[in-house]
Amino acid sequence: MYITRLLCLIVLAAVLNICAAARPALPFAPCSRAVKDTVEPVIHGDFADPSVIRVGNIYYATGTSSEWAPHYPLFRSGDLVHWKQSGYIFNKAPDWTSSSFWAPELLYRKGTYYVYYTARKKSDGISCIGVATSDDPEKGFTDRGIIVEFGKEAIDAFMVEENGVWYITFKAYGLDNRPIELLGYQLSEDGLKTVGQAFMLLRDDDRKGMEGQCIVRRNNYYYLLYSAGGCCGLQCSYHVNVARSRTLKGPYTRFEGNPVMAAFDGWKCTGHGTVVTGKNGADYYLFHAYNNRTDVHTGRQGMLARLNWDTKTGWPSFDPVAGEPVRDFSDDFSKGSLGPEWQWDFRHTQPLVRPGKGRLYLSGTAGLENRTGTALTVRPYYGNYEMTTAVLNRNSALKGLTVYADADQAVGIGIKNDSIEVWCVKDNIRRVLGRVKVNGLPTCYLKMTVTDGQRLGFYWSGNQRSWNEVRVADAGISQFLPPWDRSSRPGLLQQGTGPAAFGFFRIRYF
């Protein structure tokens, strides 16, 4: 019996050693706790179309902000796994832009930081690519205007070098009867203009989609990673394909094993990323994906994978790298300025804020079409959470909490004079779902719970020790709330005449 058990242990150890050897080594240890049995993102929350660069020992990343301001969040890291938001590319929208702030791409060259970004023009609503520069990305960028304007659409910039000459590539068309194409221009020496005529890299003749390209030179080939399928929303089908060529301008040969990345470990609709070489010499791909469980309610989050180059064929494969779980979020408004986590819907309102000494005064200017009010929001990291606040003042304005998607798509709870209201705005029609009369509360504490991103609960208290639920007939936000390309966001809300005064804002994930 002893010999049999010993032999079993020896065989088991050998099997474990073989498995360990077969698994590619990761540069960072995976986190010990994964939420809902999924690999953790490295940048949690709504962070689509990420771009990443390394300058010395520091990594910088940015991504799509869509209709949230400030525009294009900027993150900093020392190891590709632990990231901290340091600000935004733009605190104010460039003068030529109107909306759809998508797919910024970072470049560091000769001591200057560049960002090539997509936005719609005010004049005609066509998406173009602009460029901005900075000596220090954490101190903001100076806009240099439009660099690529092509037909009915030019989006998803990516820059690549060949023989000392830099080029900008982009996605064109897709909005008319022509097929989608990945095109390129030579860049001027200063990187602020294009030179000559556009050339084609790849065409979407089978009309399966093609965008979010990234080009790297390895093994004497240019490898063109691109995303195909539907990028966004409940019916997304995004995945990553690859093609390669001996020269930058092609012709490119598609990999017979495509897609090289699709769904994995609780995540789906993977794509639109950038390759960066780590400090350890390995290549990594920062991309986005939806969580299978919370889907559009937590948005496309920032994921990381290691690239492995096949020594025989040269084609790449990908191994996910796990990030770390996030902590709960809180702001006690003790500082004289808001942290970089806060954003707002710049199309419908301009919040007026005055934080400091444990109090935030919130008001704003909203157009007549805005049925919701002024929302100040943060990105949700998981689908299960509760948020709480303290309303410190009384007036005729509604003051409280919200899950906000757009001015015509929002849900919340607030206090107005001496009444607590649970409300909903759907299709720009506002309804009060429940109302409770309260008297003599010097401070009104409000709480909302969110389960799986969409099931809601509403509560109020005078002391934070005992909570009273406001039961409503329609407590679910169902699928109407998130816009097609971004997640809804929890936050604070003020609507009407008079400011709201809040004592704190907290999110606890569970």
Q: How far is CA 304 from CA 39, 87, 265, 316, 502, in A?
A: 10, 21, 13, 15, 37
Q: CA triplet 23, 29, 30: central angle to 5 degrees?
A: 85
122-130 long-range CB contacts below 8 Å, 24 or more apart? 122/96, 122/97, 122/98, 125/98, 126/152, 126/153, 127/100, 127/102, 127/153, 127/154, 127/155, 128/154, 129/154, 129/155, 129/157, 129/168, 129/170, 130/94, 130/96, 130/97
Question: Helices marked H in 101-157 — which ranges?
Answer: none
Q: Is 49 an active-site residue?
A: yes
Number of neighbours of residue 205 by Cβ within 10 angstroms: 10
Compute CA 379 distance to the chain's CA centroid, rounded to the nearest angstrom.
8
Q: Taking phi first (over 0 means left), then psi (-120 to 50 degrees means alpha), and beta for anything else, what does residue 443 get? A: beta
Question: Is the separation of the CB atoms in 226 and 202 below 8 Å?
Answer: yes
Walk across the sheet containing 253-254 and list its strands: 211-218, 221-228, 239-245, 253-254
Active site residue: 40, 49, 143, 345, which one? 49
374-377/329-331 β-pairing: unpaired
Catalytic residue list contains 211: yes
Tell me how far apart the alpha carbons of residues 46 and 263 are, in angstroms, rounded to a whole number. Answer: 18
E strand spans, 2-126: 51-55, 58-62, 68-69, 71-77, 83-90, 97-109, 112-121
The identity of residue 184, as a single letter, is G
Nearest residue to 93 via CA among 151, 140, 39: 140
**Residue of 388, 374, 402 whose CA lies nearest to 460:** 388
| Given 67, 143, 153, 211, the catalytic residue | 211
Q: For 388-414, b where at least 16 C-beta lie within 10 A, e where not — what string? A: bbbbbbbeebbbbbbbbbbbbbbbbbb
CB atoms within 10 A of CB 466: 8
Helix (H), strand (E), coil (C) string for 277-346: ECCCCCEEEEEEEEECCCHHHCCEEEEEEEEEECCCCCCEEEEEECCCCCCCEEECCCCCCCCCCCEEEC
Residues tagged active-site: 49, 211
